Amino acid sequence: MRNFVKQTFASAIGSLLGLFLFFGLGTAGLLFLLIAAASIDEGPLVQDKSVLVFDLSLNITDSNPTSSTSEAIGEALSGENTGSLTLRSVLDALDAASKDQRIAALYLDGSSAQAGSSTGFATLKEVRSALERFRASGKKIIAYDVDLEKREYYLSSVADTVVLNPMGEMELNGLSSQPMFLTGAFEKYGIGVQVIRVGKFKSAVEPYILKQLSPESRQQTQTLLNDLWGEFLTATAKSRKLTPQQLQAIADNQGVLSAADAKERRLVDKVAYFDEVVADLQQISGNKNDDDKSFPKISLSSYADLENKDAKNSSSDNKIAVIYAEGEIVDGEGSGGDIGGDRFAKQLRQLRMDDDVKAVVLRVNSPGGSATASDVIQREVRLTQKEKPVIVSMGDMAASGGYWISTYANRIFAEPNTITGSIGVFGMLLNVQKLGNNNGITWDVVKTSRLADSNTVSRPKTPQELAISQRFVNRIYSDFINKVADSRKLPKPKVAEIAQGRVWSGQQALKLGLVDEIGGINDAIKYAAKQAKLGEDWEMKEYPETGGFGERILKTLGGEKDVKKQIAQDPLTAEFLKLQADLAILKTMNDPLDVYARLPFNLRID
């Protein structure tokens, strides 16, 4: 019935579009029509004994993603958000479904998941915990996949029944990180690089000055991967009633398994086709009609939308503000995908002055960036913390500048596989002298003092100029150390020892005193409410605020850039896109002092 409604409505939209264009009503009429479509209420969507369908290709983000024009229109017509969903929406939906008598089971559909998922393991850890709570409620979870990769298996291993297609395969080969080094290309094309840094582990500049990992960078990356892989093995082994040692042996000796091998190793429960999975889901939902191969179901995205609508109906004068710091930290206002220091500080300032906001949860998912912008944000965190509780929840990564803005919170929560620390700073000075000379370009200069042209890219920096820049880096690093020691109540020598730009996992950061507790975003929110002494009389509000479908369609049709959809990539294209992403980071490096507190460039874990 619902499909019929959608198809009929879509047909009507098509006809009306023709009339609008024929009579010249143009964009305004089209916008009105689409916004009206977004507000269509089709009535109850959850039938009795429905199966909640969790598409594992879903991109899970911290804050609300921006839909492309086509996605926004598609969502308006279908009533579903099929591309991305926020972590809190996923967690709330799964917890609500575990108590919803209309939901009979959960189906984890990995059949359309693409390689190269960007959802990090710390985010997946929180989702996995929600899946465990769902299963503990007594409801069944069935997982099905064709090409079962590590991220999908991390979630699917929770299921009562894990099914793999007979022609499918399973990847269990461990974690790796393969950074790309551009030094040779820069040498070939004549781009000069000079670096200034503090911290022997501060490897963010290495792709531009080395051709392979330094011993220090290799050491910290190996330690980090070992921690993340250890958590993966422990969690999945427990769910599958195996030992971490058994899984490690498979990773060392097989890596990729056929469906039959995966079943023999007890990594999956069944080898079956999709129609056989559907038959099982029909049994669970009570649909035994052989003429009808469907079953009552609702997507996680649609169910989350229903839960969000219900949540909006409740209100309290006491607000817990959840503000998302997601992306690169840049100086100034920044763009939609960045954390602009000035813009973010202004938002914190507004929350500090809002009497209805009783506590702030700062959710950080950032590799860092501009040292200046990080300090601007940290100042507002400190001022806010003096007036109301500020609790930090670390996501996939909260390192370097991401740690800088976190350190003065009343309490810091992190997942065991969060990437954090990286307390260190660097500067990178490029010049194109050789590139220009090789192509017949030369420069000359007239100046009134020795250092008047010190910001030029037409030549390398002189020893004197490098010494000046190094002093700035040293001072900022010293400030970083002092602030961590002050905020975390740690001896300065200890901070200096665990700093050095070194990256730590959340579980190691807890032992070192860099974070306070292992937990997710909901744990941080509950703790904030407790610290503010609100009891049960409070509601959560997220920032930055996003508009409804109508506003999003207006924005996207008004010229917002489309978000690239994730598509299957051949290995060569994947490497090219990695290069493109690495070079794109240079555009975000706009610190006025050219000093940065950032993770190793695009730390990727495969």
Virtual torsion, Cα 208, 373, 377, 319, nearest 10 deg = -90
Q: Among candidates 544, 186, 148, which has minimal Cα distance to 334?
A: 544
Please report which helix (H) or strand (E) contains residue 50, including its range.
strand 50-55
Rounded Cα distance, 213 and 258, in Å: 34
For the beta carbon of residue 176, count every other beta carbon within 10 angstroms: 11
User: Alpha carbon 398 to chain centroid distance?
Assistant: 11
User: Which residue is catalytic, options 125, 139, 150, 202?
Assistant: 202
Contacts of 56 (CB under 8 A, 6+ apart): 108, 109, 110, 112, 113, 145, 152, 155, 156
Indicate if 400 belongs to the active site. yes
* The token pair that represents 532 in the structure block: 């503010």
User: Which residue is catalytic, options 400, 406, 422, 505?
Assistant: 400
* The token pair that represents 288 in the structure block: 């035994």
Please say whether the beta carbons of 367 and 603 come within 8 A.
Answer: yes
* The token pair that represents 393 in the structure block: 């929840």
Please say whether the beta carbons of 606 and 212 come within 8 A.
Answer: no
DSSP state of 390: E
Question: 429: which strand partners?
Answer: 194
Q: What is the DSSP string of 159-176?
A: SSEEEEEEEEEEEE----
3-state secondary structure string, 444-458? CCCCCCCCCCCCCCC
Indicate if 202 belongs to the active site. yes
Q: Among candidates 59, 50, 36, which has minimal Cα distance to 2?
A: 50
Cis amide leading into 544 (omega within 30): yes
Integer CA distances (angstroms), 332 to 113, 245, 320, in order: 37, 49, 27
Rounded Cα distance, 521 and 528, in Å: 11
Rounded Cα distance, 597 and 588, in Å: 13
Half-sphere exposure of residue 87, counting CA atoms within 13 Å on the CB side?
27
532 SS3 class: coil
Question: 53: which strand partners?
Answer: 107, 299
* The token pair that represents 30 in the structure block: 């089209």
Distance, first Cα to last Cα, the chain: 42
Catalytic residues: 202, 400
